[in-house]
Amino acid sequence: MGSADLVGSLAAALSMVTFAPQALRVIRTRDTAAISLTTYVIVVVSTALWGVYGALIASIPVVAANIVNGGFALVILVLKARAVLVAKEP
């Protein structure tokens, strides 16, 4: 593993760790009042695009990080959208 892959893997791991607590809290409490729907739409789209980019350049760290982060963000987005649609939240 080269230096670039090592740095990419470390960055990917740290990035994944940042989304996990928020996703787990939202799953556990179902409280999304303080979360921006627009932000999570953008996060889900950006992680999908980064994942495609990672696949195009054949970078496993980029692909893996964006699959995991995209999954966490998608869970939060779905729960937030559900709360907005049933008019629990603005």
pLDDT at 77: 96
Contact 21, 70 (CB under 8 A): no
Look-up of token digits 């996703």: 23
CB 71 within 8 A of CB 19: no
- pTM for the model stands at 0.83
**pLDDT tens per residue, the chain (90 residues)?**
688 888 888 888 888 888 889 899 999 999 999 999 999 999 999 999 999 999 999 988 889 889 999 999 999 999 999 999 886 655
pLDDT of residue 28: 95
Q: Return the DSSP state at 2.
A: -
